[in-house]
Amino acid sequence: MTEPTSLSLSACSHLPIPFNTSPEPLELIAQGAESLLYKTTFLFPSQPAALKIRPVKKWRHPTLDKRLTRARILAEARVLVKLSGEGIAVGGGGRKVKDPKKGNGVVGGMRGLVPAVLGLDWEGGWLVTEWIEGGTVKEAIYRVSRARTMGGSGVGLSGDAVVEELRGLLRKMGEVVGKLHACGVVHGDLTTSNMMLRPFGTASPQSSKPEGHDEASAQLSTGPAPDVDQPKSTSRSQTSLEGDIVLIDFGLATQSVSDEDRAVDLYVLERAFGSTHPREEELFACVLDAYAHGEGSGMNGKAGKTVIRKLEDVRMRGRKKSMLG
Amino acid sequence: METIVLPHLPDHHLHVCLFVKVHNAQFLRQQLLDGNVDFEYAFLDAAVLLSRQHVLAACFRAINDMLQDRLKSKNVHSEIVFSLSPNNNISDSFRRFGVSEITTEILAVKVGNDQMQVEEHLRKHVEGQAVPFTDEILTSIRNEARIQRAYRVETSSDQADAFIIGSMALKGS
Ligand SMILES: Nc1ncnc2c1ncn2[C@@H]1O[C@H](COP(=O)(O)OP(=O)(O)OP(=O)(O)O)[C@@H](O)[C@H]1O
Ligand SMILES: [Mg+2]
């Protein structure tokens, strides 16, 4: 007799306490190699939350498995909390990372651009964060990519307008990565599915917002609110790339200000972007340009240019490696 | 008096009552010090509470730690007080977040038991005025300076709530 191997079934019965006995709906959103991501609630029945669990790996030695689970849950939570305290925590919530860009208009820059931690249990292997509305950047790009196809046949936007929108989105990606790096953190797994595009005005009122993007200013600046019912095929695609980019999935993040680490972070994103969005690959230069020159970047100026130069080396090494292997 | 059910903890109802103009805090504190079992409440100093979310995050952590058999303090009620603290010092947490002799705004939290009984008991023994447990009222009675000191933040509590709740959740790691 063989055991049933349906992953999602066995996963449900292995939810940690107290979620294993919960009457509350838990909607499986994503199943990664190491973790399961559920949409559920946490402190209020009306407030959606993201529950990430790292199920026990039966094939790993139990002590080692526990240690790894604990380390990754804590690594992610610590970085998220550190970033949510940028610019407001006395003493920076621990060791202060030395960085010349700090105090240059982007202090506290990541606050509100990462999900708030609501609860965790490193022994139980779970982490609950605020739910980010709007879907991933990957989905958003796929969506406008379809509109771009339709543009040629007279439906929706012209191809040029879509490309302009995409450029804007990519610039925002570069700026947010620049902000993150300026906070002394490298993400470790930058992809378009680890970036959410949160429409303006949908940030949870309980969570802190980045300066200058409170509800009021967002509504003034963005035309139709995202929740206004509009015929989807036309106006939806015009506003669909507006919003803040929120970074998620910090399980591999580390504190670092090294140019090399920063360049590798960008390289990982470049490679992931190229394979996920081959049609948009040529636009990736916008990300790098905004990283090194964008007003909201935090890495604009000399530091950013050094990282971009380093990126060239990292690419070279990558190419050599792929020629060898 | 309000009964709150946390989404994933349906068996642990929270009976919550916010009192202002309390003038027998000394008596209430004495019951806790004496270990009077009729007074198993979390009596929180409402001046250091940010929001309902802040309180509920502490309650979730305390109940979860109880379910996992790793309470650091005497019972789930003292653990709620401890859970509000960003550091591991239990007596420090009682001093900062618990009722003191001069506290005039108190949030009483009881995990479990019958709502009617809890309400009757509180109304009989807490000499103060019961008001709704809302974010607005919490905001109006909170002490910014004390919150900033307790959580080591240097800005208004509203901007710091993600950091504060996150620090509570990470405590002991
Ligand atoms: N806070 C959130 N709000 C909304 N959706 C989220 C949130 N966190 C994650 N998601 C969704 O779930 C997916 C998977 O989450 P995440 O990237 O954190 O996990 P993962 O890739 O499985 O993690 P890991 O690489 O650490 O094992 C995301 O791509 C996104 O679609
Ligand atoms: Mg991911």
ipTM of the predicted structure?
0.96
Q: How far is the CA of B82 from the centre of ligand 1 (A)?
A: 31
What are the pLDDT digits (tens) for B93-105? 999 999 999 999 9
- Best mutation site among A27, A28, A31, A37 for ligand 1, i.e. most ligand atoms within 8 A of its Cβ? A37
Residue nearest to atom 18 of ligand 1 (CA): A249
Residue nearest to atom 22 of ligand 1 (CA): A32
Residue A232 has pLDDT above 80, yes or no: no
B104 interface with A at CB cutoff 8 Å: no
CB pairs under 8 A between A and B: 117
Q: How far is the CA of A254 from the centre of ligand 1 (A)?
A: 18
Mean pLDDT of chain A: 83
Residue pair A166/A141 in contact by the 8 Å Cβ criterion: yes
Tally of structural domains, chain B: 1
- The reported pLDDT for the residue numbered A156 is 56
Range of the structural domain that residue B43 is part of: 2-170
Please tell me the number of the ligand nearest to residue A39's CA: 1
- The reported pLDDT for the residue numbered A215 is 39
What are the pLDDT digits (tens) for A101-136? 444 445 558 989 999 999 999 999 999 999 999 999
Tell me how far apart the alpha carbons of residues B41 and B76 are, in angstroms, rounded to a whole number.
9
What are the pLDDT digits (tens) for A277-299? 999 999 999 999 999 999 999 99
CB contact under 8 A, A88 and B154: yes
Range of the structural domain that residue A188 is part of: 19-317
Q: How confident is the model at residue A146 (pLDDT cuts 50, 70, 90)?
A: confident
Query: Which residue ranges of chain B lie beneath pLDDT 70?
Result: none
- The reported pLDDT for the residue numbered A221 is 39
**What's the CATH number where A230 sits?**
1.10.510.10
- The reported pLDDT for the residue numbered B148 is 96
User: Is position A12 within any domain?
Assistant: no
Q: Which long-range contacts (CB under 8 A, 24 or more apart) does A23-28 make?
A: A23/B10, A24/B7, A24/B8, A26/A51
**What's the CATH number where B34 sits?**
3.30.2380.10
Q: Between residues A36 and A97, which one has the greater pLDDT?
A: A36
- The reported pLDDT for the residue numbered A56 is 85
Rounded average pLDDT over A197-218: 60
CB contact under 8 A, B7 and A81: no
Residue nearest to atom 17 of ligand 1 (CA): A249
- The reported pLDDT for the residue numbered A96 is 39
**Which residues of A have a catalytic role annotated?**
189
- The reported pLDDT for the residue numbered A319 is 84
User: Is position A267 within any domain?
Assistant: yes
Tell me how far apart the alpha carbons of residues B54 and A181 are, in angstroms, rounded to a whole number.
30
Tell me how far apart the alpha carbons of residues A158 and A146 are, in angstroms, rounded to a whole number.
12
Q: Which neighbouring-strand residues pair with B71?
A: none
Chain B residue numbers touching A204 (CB-CB < 8 A): none
User: Is position A10 within any domain?
Assistant: no
pTM: 0.89
Tally of structural domains, chain A: 1
Tell me how far apart the alpha carbons of residues A195 and B59 are, in angstroms, rounded to a whole number.
31
Tell me how far apart the alpha carbons of residues A125 and A118 are, in angstroms, rounded to a whole number.
14
- The reported pLDDT for the residue numbered B159 is 87
CB contact under 8 A, B166 and A123: no
Q: How confident is the model at residue A145 (pLDDT cuts 50, 70, 90)?
A: confident
The binding-site residues of ligand 1, defined as CB within 6 angstroms of any ligand atom, are: A 29-30, 32, 34-35, 37, 50, 52, 115, 129, 131-132, 136, 189, 193-194, 196, 248-249, 251
Q: How far is the CA of A319 from the centre of ligand 1 (A)?
A: 30
